[in-house]
């Protein structure tokens, strides 16, 4: 129901607010003046993030009232697609800032290709010897990415867990995930994280963004979170987990 969904948003926001306050406190020097600035900053960002999620929740429910002739995919399948909004260039740049690259053959997996902003950014940055596999479950979005396929770039129409199961253990050097973990069932989210951890090579990274820090404990169960970054120039603003294999 609408009430339960709004309550879920509010509960998630309480968890994220605490994490955001911790993040801003670590980033700013601890003296009286900067602590006051930090307090004002995280409250403003908290309010903006909360309002953006309430706004998107409202439109999801409006979409459920639309006639069948409208494209309701964003509304009815939001558990797979998330909010249906492409990642901003600022979020993509911040995520890839933490990516590890090598000139020798490298295997990269992107979970959730979406409309392709992250995919195109990975293609522009990767070496010619790098093999990139993009997993996209939504058929329309998968079809929209097929033109990017080459000998070293593969677009697959599979669930993330099934896509990862095609790789041998410890054979992937970098996993970039834009999957909406918070919108999935906890069991499915944990299954994807477990599959990602099993194929990731030691000392290489799993990078995941999330609007709410609701799955941080799930991520920590399978990975060591080296750093939690944050990008305000995205709608909604997003947390970024930079992780290594346990």
DSSP string spanning 16-73? HHHHHHHHHHHHS--SHHHHHHHHHHHHHHHHHHHHHHHHHHHHHHHHTTS-TTS--H
Cα distance between residue 140 and residue 160, in whole Å: 16
In this prediction, residue 37 carries a pLDDT of 56
Please check whether residue 182 is in contact with residue 151, taking contact to mean a CB–CB distance below 8 angstroms: no
Estimate the share of the chain in helix, then strand, then coil, as percent rounded to the nearest 5: 50, 20, 30
In this prediction, residue 67 carries a pLDDT of 52
Q: What is the pLDDT along the chain (246 residues), one digit of tens a residue?
A: 445 555 555 555 555 556 655 665 565 555 555 555 556 665 666 666 666 666 656 655 555 555 544 444 544 444 455 555 678 999 999 999 999 998 888 999 999 998 899 999 999 999 999 999 999 998 889 999 999 999 999 999 999 999 999 999 999 999 999 998 877 888 999 999 999 999 999 989 999 998 877 788 999 999 999 999 988 888 778 889 999 998
In this prediction, residue 21 carries a pLDDT of 59
In this prediction, residue 140 carries a pLDDT of 87
Cα distance between residue 122 and residue 117, in whole Å: 9
In this prediction, residue 63 carries a pLDDT of 53
**Angstrom distances, CA of residue 113 to CA of 134, 145, 156, 227:** 6, 8, 10, 24
In this prediction, residue 186 carries a pLDDT of 85
Kindly report the pTM of this predicted structure.
0.73
CA nearest to 79, candidates 18, 143, 8, 17: 8
Beta strands in the chain (DSSP E): 106-111, 130-135, 153-156, 172-177, 200-210, 223-231, 238-245
Angle at 110 between CA 87 and CA 150, to 5 degrees: 110
């Amino acid at each position: 129901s609408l009430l339960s969904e709004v309550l879920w948003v509010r509960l998630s926001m309480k968890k994220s607010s605490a994490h955001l306050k911790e993040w801003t406190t670590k980033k700013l020097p601890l003296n009286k003046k900067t602590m006051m600035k930090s307090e004002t900053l995280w409250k403003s960002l908290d309010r903006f993030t909360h309002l953006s999620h309430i706004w998107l929740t409202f439109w999801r429910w409006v979409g459920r009232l639309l006639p069948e002739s409208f494209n309701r995919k964003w509304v009815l399948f939001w558990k797979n697609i998330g909010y249906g909004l492409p990642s901003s260039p600022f979020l993509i740049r911040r995520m890839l800032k933490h990516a590890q690259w090598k000139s020798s053959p490298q295997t990269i997996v992107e979970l959730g290709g979406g409309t392709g902003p992250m995919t195109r950014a990975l293609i522009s940055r990767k070496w010619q010897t790098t093999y990139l596999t993009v997993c996209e479950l939504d058929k329309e979005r998968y079809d929209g990415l097929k033109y990017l396929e080459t000998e070293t770039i593969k677009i697959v129409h599979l669930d993330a867990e099934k896509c990862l199961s095609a790789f041998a253990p410890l054979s992937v050097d970098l996993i970039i995930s834009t999957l909406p973990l918070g919108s999935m069932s906890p069991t499915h989210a944990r299954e994807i994280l477990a599959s990602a951890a099993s194929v990731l090579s030691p000392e290489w990274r799993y990078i995941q963004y999330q609007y709410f820090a609701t799955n941080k404990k799930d991520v920590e169960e399978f990975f060591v979170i080296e750093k939690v970054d944050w990008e305000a120039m995205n709608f909604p603003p997003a947390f970024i987990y930079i992780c290594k294999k346990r």
